[in-house]
Amino acid sequence: MGVEIQRFRRLVNALPGVEHKESVQYTAFSVGGKRFGYLWPRTTTVGLKQTMSEQLALVSERPDVFEVQFTAGGFGWVVVQLGRIDLDELSELVLEAWRLSAPEHLLTEHPTPAGLVEA
């Protein structure tokens, strides 16, 4: 179990319209000008946008993998420990984070978790 940073980047890059913004300590991922994720290489963690209910469910069910990052704009962001999650579950969470931010015209391309895993 566990997902390497480069594999996470391939998941994100397989999604349509993704933009990256590199900084000294992290990389931010956006689509249509809206953020949906962050990568912190130093801690091998990512932050992903989720619904409030999903944030609470993830953190309460598996606190060794997920933690609350913050809430903003009606969304709950979670920190994900890459070393403690499998690729299939991470692909679902990345796709959901992207969907919550993507403009309508990109949603018609219908990326799937399985398609991301194959990327």
The CA radius of gyration of the chain, in Å to the nearest whole number, is 13
Cα separation, 23 vs 29, whole angstroms: 11
| pLDDT for residue 115 is more than 80 | no
Cα separation, 106 vs 111, whole angstroms: 9
CATH code, 5-118: 3.90.1150.30
Reported as a single tens digit per residue, the pLDDT across 38-59 is: 999 999 999 999 999 999 999 9
Per DSSP, 63 falls in state T
| pLDDT for residue 117 is more than 90 | no
3-class SS shares of the chain: helix, strand, coil, % to 5: 40, 30, 25
Looking at the chain, the whole-number percentage of residues with pLDDT higher than 90 is: 88
Looking at the chain, the whole-number percentage of residues with pLDDT higher than 70 is: 98
Ordered by start, the domain boundaries in the chain are 5-118
What value does the mean pLDDT take over residues 80-99? 96
